[in-house]
Structure 1
Amino acid sequence: MNADTNQPDSFGDSAGRIVYPEQNWSAAQSLWFYNVTQGSNLIPYDIFLHLEVADSEELFRSDQHMNRLRYLTQSPSIANPDGLAVGWVKDEHGGKDYVGFTCAACHTSQIHFQGTAIRIDGGAPLADMEKMLGSLSAALNASLENPAKFERLAAKVLKGKYPAEQEAFRAELTTLAAQISTYNKVNEPRHGEQLVAYGYGRLDAFGRIYNRVLAHLTPREPNFNPASAPVSYPYLWDTPQHDFVQWNGVGDNELAGPLGRNTGEALGVFAQFDLQKQRGDIGYRSSVVVRNLTRIERHLESLWSPSWEELAAQQVLPPINQSLAEQGREVFINYQCHSCHEAIDRTDPKRRIIAQFASLQTIGTDPYMAMNALNYSGKSGYFEGTKIKPLNPASPRYAANTPVLPALSSAVEGVLIEPDHDKTFIRRWAEKLYDLFASIGDNPIKHTQRHLDFEVVDKDKPATLAAYKARPLNGIWATAPYLHNGSVPSLYELFMPSCSDQEIASGKVCRPNKFTLGSRELDPIKVGFVGRDPAQYPDLFVFDTSLPSNSNKGHEYAAGVTPVFVLDEQGRPRKDSQGKPVMRRLEPISHAQRLALVEYLKTL
């Protein structure tokens, strides 16, 4: 299932073997997750198979290139005969073959420790999609501009039709290169004149999904916002058991919520769709494979978080100091961590998670993701004049401009109700009705309430999304870097304060303001990825927390900076005489307490 070697790569990593922790999936179930298509169509498959990188004859899909982009390589198998990287898959739509992404591309990770790679299903990877798409654009343009590259590619793709059809192929390649180039330009992570690269392990998925919808609403005129709020890829264990998902909790898991959430994700990762309704259609035609999205969600219900203790028993990871961990548990309770991060049994099939949200003003972490998702707007295009909620007689209609969030919901709903036109009339409707009813009937989450700052709020009010979600911490050791935007490299440093460069230079113990990303090697003490010298390993990414959307401030409870709510016996916030919540700052924890707290988190 892998193509790793024991030779150090350009990040300094090596692994002689890959192990899988016990996550309640068999090898066959993992491979299914890696290879099940969701209707993602990035570029034609035959072009992808033979495309070279821009500056050499190395194939774009080679293990070496995919590893530089931090996608996980695989050996060929029956389900993956061309040996594509994890989460890259062949998809068929409209009689044509494409390469696209499965959920596994953004939700499968790997951690190295002393020569052993730990493959974690549902984990947060280090993949750099922004870098990949830039490399893809460069490769396509080089194939057009370099005659030798074009001839090699055309001959392999056209086979017996070469050279007779090479000019038609050149036209197709030109169109494809322009599409990828335009996509990259539209989605630049721009803050005014400043570009802030995502780096490994981050993506502004919401910004890019929004822009895909806006582009399809007005295909002949610009309609986009900067995709400028990258966040870490979320890990997937316990996702079907949550009431709300996504960093800002915009994904309501109630009833058909998971199907809508997964459909929006598929639209974002290059599913084909058309938001101009065709005559006789009730929704919008697309390549989205709704049945597989339902199957993936059900598949994830059985996934467990990885266990450090289980890997330690196999002598893959160092043993946990149980005495120190018990001291850390006391710190965890004393500092009210348990009030937001619910303890669950990771193996309980009936587990349910009620998410606790912290408003931006109380948690103090980087606001870009939550506020962009809430405030971004664009031209309504095809939706202008139609009802925002078609089944509600009192629903307002779309004006010339709209917030993107309801437009995304309308696009998703339209895609879901329109059957697959690749199938016969009877089959397309039978399957569509079955898929919709099955997705609702099989969903264990029937009702949700939003808990914000320890109070139940109206979940239909958009303003409640100006917040970030806490979740259970089982498996947290395997999800570095930390905070929603990946701005803190380790658990140990998460319990330090954020500081200015001057304070750090003076010797104050602080979260680092710069660190490197790209290495998969685990630091078992701090619990994060090992930092390496970018002068020695130039493929590393230097994360700079001074840049917009990269702030490492907030969630500084253990550092005595961020105040906590004073709660009553029922776990509700106490109020002062003016009805405002009572807050207090805790004493900063010591070095020894930080080590103990990290040791405890390894046990979860």
Structure 2
Amino acid sequence: MKKPLPIAVLVLIAGALFYFRYSAGHIIATGTPVENSKDNAINLEQGWSVRTQQAYYFTNQGSRILPYEWFLALEMPDSQALFRGDDNMRALRYLPTGPDSKWNPDGLPVGFVRGVDEKKQAWLGMTCAACHTGQIAYNGTTIRIDGGQTIADVDAFDLNLVAAMKKTAEDEEKFTRFATAVLGQSATTEGKTALRDALKKRTAALNDRNVANHYQSPNMPQYGYGRTDAIGQIFNKVLVHMNNMPDNALASDAPVSYPFLWGTHQSDVVQWTGFAPNGPLNIGSLIRNGGEVLGVYGEMEIPDDKQAHKYKSSIIVENIGLLEQWVATLRSPQWPEKILPPIDKALAEKGRVHYDKHCASCHAVVTRENEGMNYKSVLVDIEKVGTDSREYDNMIKLRKAGKFAGRKQAGVVGNEIPAETNGLDPLINSVVGGLLEHPLESIKANITIAKGEITAETIDAAAKSYVPGAPGEDNTSVLDRIFADFNQRRENLRTNPVVNTSLPMAPKKYKARPLTGIWATPPYLHNGSVPNLKEMLLPAAQRSKTFHLGTREYDPVNAGYKDMPEFDGKPSFTFDTALPGNSNAGHEYGTAELNDDQRKELLEYLKSL
């Protein structure tokens, strides 16, 4: 007979099952100003209230980049301008905001937050919104796309931040200004020395992170605007930094476009490779969000004791539950016909026929009234779709498990992690361990304030059914059932003669999803290698070999950003499809059968989704 899970585990599971709810208030209407936007952006109706939107932008999830006061005082490497200043944040393509907000009193860009650790140290962190908030501009009007792709250059942020910190520690005049801002005019010599030492230590840690992500990859393609290799960076976080194994790094050289978030919660699996299940019981979404925190500077300690399955971490469990709940209520943006040129409905109706014939078998049509319903994703063979495989290829590479070797997948259940592994099982083990470490009281506190059916009392009642000797489902653990599905797919992969890995997903596939709101999410393909929807409908040989990214100016005819060599007086990023990982080949469904007029019809229909 299997042993029941500890009560704390079940409380965590029950907490994940019933999302933390938030008072929605009035839904934001299309055309209303975005609160405190410095770009005078306006909203589209996407199912959120102002309160939910601002909470999504500025709720701390446990990311710790550098001490908060340091960030406020840090200067650019080559000038006295503040690193957090609007000019620099705009150049990196983050979204500056005003300071007149209870959510964001210091006017941080969207997705940058202040958090306080257990020692009362304030930290700068990132949240989902930094990478998943879009913005487009057309004829002088700026439109916010909640849950859309940022076009920020996250790699430049990481590298430039370390350069600024290093220069501050080395340059006496810069350091004096920095120390005065952080410590005050009356700072002692000892205090300044301690501050400089701490600055050097944190700079070294952030530099180590950058070195691991660029590990032995001199020809690594630049991420540029709107891309990152989140999975590669998360795997390095777990297998390199948390393992204390710098030589265990692999270059994070498979940058992909940020997926849009509407429909994420409703999908059975997420990520471009479809490796992360949302369920059952939504435990998968909690693990996914915990892993995301580790990827954006979250902290975790893995003990040497292989029997320990609770890990101290900076992950704020209750807040990632809240963030998931808000995303569950997010809806896709509709083409704003009072701002962009109206859709030709007659052409779009003809385009529907082409979509049903060439697209709908992979990209199901979801009506707006059904956007809140769950759906099953289509996973397509990469060889069949013909798109760049580097994202998948990197994920299945094996390296040393280190501290994770011999531990179970999910700490208390699952298969043992072998001595060589890809990053997924150690990641799952890490996040589950971080969830189990969080006190029962913090979970109950959030459930108690919920407006749904679930209260602390019902959680207690559910947990009691799993106490030894109490009635239950034959004492079968919930996590055992969850990982039965994981391990079945694991066996599918092990029988594949091409690879030998424990990655719990179908071999070599990418995820296809409903295309609701696709017009607002350029560039296209998983690696962002196609600039607009018009080119997505062309044979690969006719697509742009290079194009420019950086401007937010929208091209409503072709449904993408305008191809501009400069923006704001600065050079744009040149996307070169000849570089490794940047191929724009594949996904040619229907392109040979359609003529130019039919492509126009299909494009017009895509705008209407």
TM-score normalised by length of structure 1: 0.83
Q: 1:161 to 1:282 in 2, by over 3 A?
A: farther
Displacement after TM superposition at 1:514 (Å): 0.1
- Residues 429-578 of structure 1 mapped to structure 2, 5 A cutoff: 430=444, 462=504, 464-499=506-541, 510-534=542-566, 537-560=569-592
Structure 1 alignment gaps of length 5 or more: 6-14, 421-425, 451-456, 500-509, 561-586
Structure 1 segment 23-102 matched on structure 2, within 5 A: 23-76=46-99, 77-94=101-118, 95-102=120-127
Q: CA deviation at 1:4?
A: 5.9
* CA RMSD after TM alignment: 3.0
**What SS does structure 2 have at the residue aligned with 1:339?**
coil
Query: Does the alignment pair 1:151 with 2:171?
Result: no
Question: SS of the counterpart of 2:511?
Answer: strand
How far did residue 79 of structure 1 move?
A: 1.1
| 2:270 aligned with 1:222 | no
Number of the residue aligned with 2:438? 419
Deviations 1:415-450 (A, max 9, x none): 111125xxxxx7358569989x999999xxx99999
Judged with a 3 Å threshold, the aligned counterparts in structure 2 of structure 1 residues 526 and 428 are, in CA distance, closer, same or farther, namely: closer
Write the deviation string for residues 240-280 of structure 1: whole angstroms up to 9, x where unpaired: 11111111111101121100111111111111110116799
Aligned twin of 1:407: 426
- What CA deviation, in whole Å up to 9, does each residue of 1:462-519 have, x standing for no partner? 46141111111110000000000000000000111222xxxxxxxxxx1001000011
Tell me: CA distance 1:548–1:434, structure 2 relative to 1, closer, same or farther (3 Å).
Answer: farther
Kindly provide the CA deviation profile for residues 129-162 of structure 1, in whole angstroms up to 9, marking residues without a partner as x. Answer: 1010111011011112221111000111011552
Cα drift, residue 360 of structure 1: 0.9
SS in structure 2 at match of 1:110? strand
Structure 1 residue identity aligned to 2:329: S
Specify the alignment match of 1:356 in structure 2: 378
Aligned residue among 265, 270, 280 for 1:240: 265
SS in 2 for 1:516: strand
**What's the offset of the Cα at 1:301?**
1.6
How far does residue 126 in structure 1 lie from its aligned partner after superposition?
Answer: 0.2
Residue identity in the other structure for 1:408:
L
Counterpart mapping for 1:284-363 below 5 A: 284-308=311-335, 311-312=336-337, 315-335=338-358, 337-348=359-370, 350-363=372-385
Number of equivalences: 535
Q: Give secondary structure in 2 for the equivalent of 1:241.
A: coil
Q: 1:179 to 1:391 in 2, by over 3 A?
A: closer
**Do 2:532 and 2:558's aligned partners in 1 also have CA atoms closer than 8 Å?**
yes
Offset of residue 398 of structure 1: 3.5
State the SS of the aligned residue for 2:115: strand
Q: Are residues 558 and 220 of structure 1, via their aligned partners in 2, closer, same or farther at CA, if it must alter by over 3 Å?
A: closer
CA gap of 1:536–1:90, structure 2 versus 1, over 3 A, is closer
Aligned to 1:571: none
Residue aligned with 2:312, SS: coil
Q: Name the CA distance, whole Å, in 2 between partners of 1:397 and 1:363.
A: 34
Deviations for 1:34-81, whole angstroms, at most 9, x for unmatched residues? 011111111000000110111111111111110100001111111101
Q: Which of 290, 293, 301 is residue 266 of structure 1 equivalent to?
A: 293
* Letter of the 1:603 counterpart: S
2:173 and 2:328 mapped to 1: Cα distance? 50
Q: Distance in 2 between matches of 1:432 and 1:216?
A: 31
Q: % of aligned pairs identical?
A: 39
Give the counterpart of 1:593 among 598, 601, 604. 598
Cα pair 1:217 1:383 within 8 Å, conserved: no
